[in-house]
Amino acid sequence: MKIPLDTEFDTDFANQIAQLEAYNKHHYRPNSYLHKWWARRCGSTFRLILKQLVEAEAQRDYYAPGGLAGKIILDPMMGGGTTLHEAIRLGAHVIGADLEPIPVLQARATLTPVSMVDLERAYKQFYTALRKEIAPFFQTKCPESGVETAVNYTLYGVQRKCNGRSVIMVDSLVLRVESDGSTIQLCSHCHAVLVDTAVCPCHGSSDKPPLLEKGAKTFAGQPAEFEDDYSIPHYQRYVPLALVLRCPRQKGLRFKAPDAHDLALLAQADELRPTLPFHPADFAIEVGRKSRQLTPREIENYLDLFSSRQLLYLHHAIQLLPRFAPEIRLNLGLLVSTSLEFNSMLCGYKGKNKRRAGAIRHTFSHHAYSFPYTALENNPVYPRKASGTLQKLFQSRVRNGRLWAQKPRERVVGKQLSVIGNQLSVRSKIPFVEILGEEDGGIEVNDVGQMTAERDSTFLLLQGSSTALDLPDGSVDFIVTDPPYFDSVQYSDLAAFFRVWLRHLLPQAANWAYDTQESAVDPHQLDSESRYAELMSGIFAECRRVLKDDGNGRFIFTFHHWNPKGWAALTLALRQAGFALVNRYAVYSENPISVHISGMKALLHDAILVFAPKDAVDVVWERPSQINQTDSEQFCYDCGTFLGWMLQQDGVEETAVLDLWQEALL
């Protein structure tokens, strides 16, 4: 039997709306962005996919509510949870599985209805108690008015040796360029903060180590040769240079060099550090391809990535969380954990230009561990809704997400503008429309047997390897997912940065003792041959087992990769599981200015691949004469076509599959 997605998918509309969403995905689907996760796909694309699984033609329209009531949708590699959120809005029962605990916890927190009044009240209590403990360490005096105020963030430079002398490296001596062209910068000799063209009183004479900018080629008239001092902990390698604040009596940001009082507060936090109940063995760096960026720098545990004030923040948060009910504790614990992306000594400073929104370059802006010269230590309990603070994150990740979940909205583009007309909310150049009757949430159940026709929008979450799903044979209608990106994104490895803290923040909420070697996300923690094909074969075989065998079941996922090994791995896994390609489409998926792909030869599109059990597919695929490697969209489309042809070549030996893909992608 044919389903709409077998033959129809509005790629023009999909591309229009995805190009908008890809720039700010968290603004479009705020309820699914409670916690950091990597490589999320556009929710609009997955809504379109799911809409083409709807039986009633009138409900297939993108802006029509519902359409999947009674259907069971599985995502066996749920990651950020996009499929679950989009499907449950359409009334489906959803099942999400992942080996990683973070996706499971995030899905449980964001899909479970919680009173916004209760969340607000609990957060206020939590924040007030936390601020009472932490705020005194982030107090300073305005250099102009003398009024005591909170530090927004502190800028540090990294200590190094250059030609045998101690120096401090920064990204730039200029801290700020105002809209009128005036500047705020550091004196390279005494580290004083200078406004515009002011002459420093030190006149070039100081006993402090000189400041050098990143990229310096010479020092004291000699070619610059740098050495790093790895004999001290990572957090001690940074020297405080400037405090940034807002004075109650002044407009705009103020920059000041730390005075004796400021340095005393930092020293006090350092003195408390050894008293905190954090044992280095519990925070040992987990071996992985990304974490190997830490060990050459003699960073042996995750504690070293945080300042003493940041550790005090975490300690008091851990102490406060047990006061709250489990569903509240889950939300607050995830909030604290995700705040660490903006509150570690791996954060950089991007506030030099006034037009930049927010000053923090967050920890994983490059999808890797990176080490700034100018490190930014945020104040997590800063009272204003500033970038990376709890106040800001609660607003954007919790409050906005919950309100959106109760009344989901969608961008309206193209021809739909005139059709929807009087329902539009015009708050920007591209208007929104509320999808009446939908809600992003449901009721959690313990097994698939509780997903009945009498009740819509239930969800089941499974933490564990999807090579062995705890589901009956033939129990799901459709499988919609986004497999991991072959060998290029180490989600599990990077997620360890958060896991070590979540184990303390939410110790009873998940199985923290799982085996990461079972992960298809980062299975090859060493540089040995990837187990991707092996693990994907096991997962795809389970997908075939649990998919309904009535001719209507479909297995759908998005994928892109330049590497023929990735496509060959998918081919083998699909062939062994007994799937054949029904159709393929190509849609826009990536923002080209994203820091982690900027300037790289990155694919900006995904192939949407629709599969069914082989005996239910009557499509005959012809081998494409060539695969276009100059156009991202056509490349993904052509690879989908080649995959369809490959799956029909029963006589091709497994060892020849990679050869054929390499030949096609030369």
Q: What is the pLDDT of residues 311-369, one digit of tens each?
A: 999 999 999 999 999 999 999 999 999 999 999 999 999 988 766 557 899 999 888 89
Percent of residues, the chain, with pLDDT higher than 70: 92
Q: Max Cα separation, the chain?
A: 83
Task: Indicate the length of the chain as a whole number.
Answer: 666
Summarize the confidence of residues 86-108 as an average pLDDT.
Answer: 97
The DSSP string of 74-126 is EETT-TT-HHHHHHHHTT-EEEEEESSHHHHHHHHHHHS---HHHHHHHHHHH
Tokens of 417: 């503008």
For β-strands 360-361 and 222-223, DSSP reports them as unpaired
Task: Give the N- to C-terminal CA distance of the chain in Å, as an integer.
Answer: 38
Q: Cα angle vertex 70, ends 67, 72, to 5°?
A: 100
Q: Which pLDDT score is estimated for 163?
A: 93
Q: Summarize the confidence of residues 463-488 as an average pLDDT.
A: 90
Residue 391 confidence (pLDDT): 98
The confidence band for 1, taking pLDDT boundaries of 50, 70 and 90, is low
Residue 122 reports pLDDT greater than 70: yes
596 pLDDT band (50/70/90 cuts)?
Answer: very low
Calpha distance 605→47 (Å, rounded): 17
For the stretch 245-301, pLDDT in tens is 999 888 888 999 999 999 999 999 999 999 999 999 999 998 888 888 898 999 999
Q: 353 is written with which tokens?
A: 């230009």
In angstroms, what CA-CA distances link 556 with 53, 62, 424, 581?
11, 18, 32, 10
Per the CB < 8 A criterion, the answer to whether 107 and 279 are in contact is: no
Q: What is the mean pLDDT of residues 384-388?
A: 94
CATH 3.40.50.150 boundaries in the chain: 4-113+407-664
Give the span between the Cα atoms of 637 and 516, in whole angstroms: 33
Q: Where are the alpha helices (DSSP H) in 340-399?
A: 390-393
Dump pLDDT digits (tens) for 507-550: 999 999 877 666 654 444 443 345 788 889 999 999 999 999 99
Residue 525: the pLDDT is 46
CATH architecture of 4-113+407-664: 3-Layer(aba) Sandwich (3.40)
* pLDDT single digits (tens) 149-167: 999 999 999 999 999 999 9
Q: What is the pLDDT of residue 359?
A: 86
Residue 527's pLDDT is what? 39
